[in-house]
Amino acid sequence: MKLKDRLKYNPLNQLYDEAQMPAKIRRSLNFILLGNIFGSAHGIICGGGTTAMIGLATELGANDMAFGILAAIPQVAALLQLPYSVLVNRTHKRKKYMLTLGIFSRALWLLFGLIPFLLPMASATVQLWTIIFLIGVSACCGSVINVCWFPWLSDLTPMQIRGRWLSIRESILAAANVLIGLVVAYALDSLPPDIRYVIIFLIGGTVGVLDMIAFAPCEEVYSAPPQKQNLFKAFGEVLKNKPFMNLVIMWTFWCFTANMSGVYLNPYSMNEMGLSFMQIMIFSTIAASVVAIFVMPAWGRMIDRFGCRNVMMVACFVASMTPLFYLLSRPGSIWPTLLHNTIGAMFWCGSNLTANNMQLSCSPNETRPTHIAVFSCVTALAGGTLGSLAGGALLESWNQANLFTTGPLDRYKVLFIVAVVLRLTFTLIFVPRFAKDNEASPKDLVRHIAGSVFGPLVGRRGI
């Protein structure tokens, strides 16, 4: 088969044909996917918890609380998504905001590696807080991105193919992350220390800007006419949506416990276990991305067959326990990081995909940007921010009190245990509150997963 024919009959085009989508909508979705690939590269490099930022912050003397603040600031800025969502609903100018505020937000990252050169006479502490300030400005401007692109995607993609399109998108992004992660890790390990962060963040800022530019050719499609919403009234309508609020509450607790420990896994791997940039990238970001390539389509099918409620229960329950692999950590050991990011990714892919699907299915077309904004704000602030700061506060208080300084459990391992117990507890409390959307049970899903994994092995052995 010729290359042209292969491209014509790729999975995305088959979905587009099934939905009988016009050429301009197909082109728009493909550009959105291209932008997401650039955005994924930006996310690997730029952010408070990335390997590059951890390395730069470590050089500037960041402590545990500083790492928590770096991770928390973008979550606090997510509060601006509420007024942004009202503005988007009122003006219907998604493209304008993406190409102005969005580009400015991403372009600021071009400066991060230059801070030590722009402020050569300042102390490392001043340079670190300058970086924190710039992250805050970037996050405030970038908060408009989420309330624009996700509802935009929803309006472009018909319901009957949306879940499969998202699963294909996640697989493509995971594959891209493997290549991007290798390049970034190699650069961090190989470039001269005095210029590596300059080059890395110049690349990160550039691909971030390209992410926004990719939306320029996209058709602006809206499922509802412009609405002059009152912010408090719009917020009240979201609060009345019980299925949506159940999702918000559950995911907020999940994010709290995930960030409570997750923010400190990479700093722990780098500073306590002694892993290099390449090792952390391969055994965390790349390992998780490789797993996602293979398991994401399966989770999409399981959501259709067993329902969101069952998938969320099983996926969250298993993913909750994977930080316990770090109890086996020792200097130079790669296995805790690898096991957490392979076994964990097998299941947090399912929980993330389910959360995305439920956001769209539980929110009405007319007020979807507001619903998405509320979801992002609450889960980011009450979940991400407070979780990151709670973890940092516990680590700092235990350090000052000289607790967990001897024996097999250091203060980080104790934090991981506390987070795991809380994640399991919250999963068992809140997921059962979701509306039952399938006659199957979590046990049926577990049997299906076990059969899919062990059935072929048993067959080969002739048992």
- State the DSSP string of 75-88: HHHGGGHHHHHHHH
| Closest residue by Cα to residue 309 from 361, 346, 370 | 361
| Chain centre distance of CA 293 | 15
| C-alpha separations of 153 from 29, 32, 158, 356, 358 in Å | 7, 8, 10, 12, 15
Q: Is residue 11 part of a domain?
A: no
What is the C-alpha separation between 117 and 420, in angstroms, rounded? 41
Residue 13 lies in a domain: no
Instruction: Round to whole Å and give the CA distance between 304 and 449.
Output: 14
The pLDDT of residue 159: 76
First-to-final CA distance of the chain? 40
Write out the two tokens for 48: 């408070």
Helices (H), strands (E): how many in the chain? 23, 0
pLDDT at 462: 47
Quote the CA–CA distance of 181 and 278 in Å, as a whole number.
Answer: 9
For residue 155, the enclosing domain spans: 22-461
What pLDDT is attached to residue 414?
A: 94
CATH number for 99: 1.20.1250.20
Q: What is the pLDDT of residue 316?
A: 94
Number of domains in the chain: 1
In order of 118, 137, 190, 310, the CA distances from 203 in angstroms are 18, 19, 16, 41
Is residue 171 in a domain?
A: yes
Q: What secondary structure does DSSP assign to 166-230, as a single string?
A: HHHHHHHHHHHHHHHHHHHHHHHHHS-TTTHHHHHHHHHHHHHHHHHHTTTTS----SS------
Tell me, yes or no, whether 57 lies in a domain: yes
- The 10 Å CB-count burial string (b at 16+, else e) for 213-243 is bbbeebeeeeeeeeeebeeeebbebbeebee
419 within a domain of the structure (yes/no)? yes
d(CA 36, CA 31): 8
The pLDDT score that the predictor gives to residue 3 is 44
> Is residue 319 within 8 Å of residue 351, measured between CB atoms?
yes
Residue 342 domain-assigned (yes or no): yes
**pLDDT mean for each 10 residues of the chain (463 residues):** 55 84 90 93 85 87 82 80 82 90 95 89 88 91 86 82 80 84 87 90 95 92 72 78 92 92 87 86 84 84 88 94 92 90 91 87 78 83 86 89 85 94 93 88 90 61 45
Angle 187-190-194 from CA coordinates, rounded to 5°? 90
Q: How far apart are CA 162 and CA 170, in angstroms?
A: 12
The pLDDT of residue 233: 76
Using CA atoms, how far residue 162 sits from 130, 221, 312, in Å, is 41, 16, 18
Residue 121 is predicted with a pLDDT of 81
CA distance 78 to 228: 22
d(CA 126, CA 382): 28
On whether the CB atoms of residues 88 and 147 are closer than 8 A, the answer is yes
Task: Measure the CA–CA gap between 463 and 450, rounded to whole angstroms.
Answer: 16
Write down the pLDDT at residue 425: 94
Q: Do the domain assignments include residue 5? A: no
- Residue 350 falls inside a structural domain: yes
Q: Which of 282, 273, 274 is nearest to 325 (CA)?
A: 273
